[in-house]
Chains A and B, each alone.
Chain A
């Protein structure tokens, strides 16, 4: 074989790693062009941007203009049929029977012992049709959960629906400019449908940033066409894709929990009590004891009586040193360890040193001090900073809830 033949053969040989390579999102072609830093990571087997250009810049797009975030790798399941409502209602802690058609609700679901498996959203697409979305694959649990509910089908739609989150104060204006007439009338957690390229575009007023924002759902074949229409409409607003890192900043300001940061999925947890309950995660409002039955009810009822061991708490920390990974103490002398920080950042929007922390519930009312380690040019420093418990999300602008949004 000549060298030329050899190299030709090499080039045409089947890829031995074909099955293991990351899936490309339906939006990949456009996103790849804009990922000028080549900052890729992975989510659910998809190639996924950590950031595209600059984390802070992308964050400011979310807060000041408009940004897009690829949610195609999010797991999406259609649950359909006469038993669908009852099946989901038994699985999640919230009352699904109260969810009206065309509405979305935030839910969580637990093991029999009331430990949180995952959180996600349920879309009611029809009287007997739902879409469940969540951060990591849940088909095994859904299969167990559906036993005894014969009249329904569960379809993994993850690869069949392209999802793009459009967030920021100019998101509504952008969508309007894109031709989505009436989008300004869409209320938070509502769903609307628009004709698009001879097909249908589903829009929900949902998101993970705590800001004004929407999520667009479309068949993968139309993903790029939709992207182009959206980006053309948003050009004047400086529309910009953002990745995982900026999302993480925005969601922390909004007080939203992140898997593997605030909670460890119960089904993947090996050590006793290293998982969390909704009460520990301050999601007690999702647990509806008016429902006679749902998975984990008995254990959660006991926990409610007893009080959760820990409570996820929003902290406003004095100074500007980020309390990443800090331990929390009940005293300035750091003799009584009462908790640990799960996420922390300097919030540019609220100009505050903020954190989420798991704190032993009995110590919530007392003093809280964070032991912060930070470095300056490779030198290590330590600081003990007083923490104040914040009751409200750090970032919750009126525009996130207003209909129509002010600048639409």
Chain B
């Protein structure tokens, strides 16, 4: 008999969600995590004595269904208060968004904003059935699978003809066009574009699916607003780990899996367990990888066990991340000019073109001349993240190429850090004097330390060609893989990345079917 019913590789939030559901259904589940703590990209760790931070720093669409079904509240999860988003302007004329209201723009823009938000929220709600369900297979559909489509079709139909037509029009629109149609304020446009493009290899003018990505981020009750849960991101991660353990899941940290064990005979191949870094072998009825597709299929399994065309499809997945992360340990609270309390999301992209130009640099492998930033001071929301009176600053930096021309040398990193600090100092004069320690994580650092190919936000690009029943590719889009006994449940699966839980939830559903 196998040691476990299921072995899950990776205790990112998706691995934990999947583990908890499987154990809840009676399975003996082991989760093996390379890092010393759970959470993956959402893990909270000390980056300077007394200062803690997580790479993913806000929640905006973590599934309520999962919270309820896994009883996360009982395990300490408390969604945080929704945050404002402020678009910083060099002259202090900031644009501030709270729910469906916006301040700092013309009354025409303000009015348009409420209507626009309501419309997008309607669309996001119509798409809701898509995210928490396994996608149908192309060609071979069961009735149940067809129902997923039928449900979305029905929801879209219920929007009414006009809204439905509008939905189809905007879903594949470059976000830039949607912004230009609706607003005058350049800062507002840039701020609203942020959630459409962050984490992708797309900028406001890129055609593809930026609007759809935004709608994905807007699902759930927060309507797209971000929050930090009580206890910081660790509040969620710890609740997930506790929920999993309370169902009997065994969690092992500091246990990197070296390879997925495959046995083969005249009946074909089968994944039978894993081999750990120290050579230990563990067996299971199935192995579920919560790591990214390339790592799963190439590094852990080995392409030789796969078929050639499937291999080629995984190989060409676009996995280069474009977001770097800056963490600052600060001796005090920085003063952002014109901002009373910097306890929301501060976006530094003073023009629509700031994003586009930063992308133009990055897409040719260069550092952005003017990086665009999403800045957060999580310690204002969760004081435990820094010593009393001191603070943590966490910033997403766009666009930063995974493959920098000349490579990520120390000089290149220092240059990027200099640019980011310079940008910050424009809006928060004197911030450099508060810095006790700075940590810059390039996509390459994220790849190496967080074990995510390309350091990609979504494990693999979330774009039309890699979405829905094409995510990560057909023959693996329903969580099973060409290798019997091997499943995948990370952000590289439908619906995608972000701390959302859909992939882990859907994978468990598929395995328990």
Contacts and interface: CB of A to CB of B under 8 A. Distances in A.
Given A147-B315, A148-B303, A292 B308 contact: no
A148 B268 contact: no
A292 B271 CA distance: 12
Nearest first, the 9 closest Cβ-Cβ pairs linking A and B are A292-B264, A148-B303, A112-B307, A112-B309, A290-B266, A148-B304, A145-B308, A292-B269, A144-B312
Contacts of A297: 268
Interface string A136-161: 00000100110111000000000000
Given A90-B304, A149-B304, A292 B268 contact: yes
A148 B298 contact: yes
Contacts of A39: none
Interface in A97-146: 111-112, 141, 144-145
Contacts of B302: 148
B305 interface: yes
A81 to B, nearest CB: 14
Contacts of A187: none
Interface in A156-182: none
A322 interface: no
B269 A293 contact: yes
B277 interface: no
9 contacts: A112-B309, A144-B312, A292-B267, A292-B268, A292-B269, A293-B268, A293-B304, A295-B308, A296-B307
Interface string A285-306: 0000110110111100100000
Interface string B248-272: 0000000000000001111111000
Interface string B285-308: 000000000000010001111111
B168 interface: no
Interface in A281-339: 289-290, 292-293, 295-298, 301
Contacts, number: 51
A86 interface: yes
A298 B309 contact: no
A289 B305 CA distance: 15
B89 interface: no
Contacts of A289: 266
B482 interface: yes
B337 interface: no
Interface residues of B, number: 21
Nearest to B266: A290
A301 B268 CA distance: 10
B149 interface: no
A94 to B, nearest CB: 15
B310 interface: yes
Contacts of B335: none
B468 to A, nearest CB: 21
B265 A292 contact: yes
A296 B310 CA distance: 11
A218 interface: no
Contacts of A296: 307
B309 A111 contact: yes
Nearest to B483: A293
A293 to B, nearest CB: 5
B27 interface: no
A147 B269 contact: no
A144 B316 CA distance: 11
B100 interface: no
B308 A144 contact: yes
B311 interface: yes
B308 A293 contact: no
A297 B310 CA distance: 13
A91 B304 CA distance: 9
Contacts of B303: 147-149
Interface core residue of B268, B303, B305, B308 (most chain A CB under 10 Å):
B308
B482 A298 contact: yes
A147 B266 CA distance: 24
Interface in A68-103: 86-87, 90-91
Contacts of B298: 148
B129 to A, nearest CB: 31
A334 B263 CA distance: 52
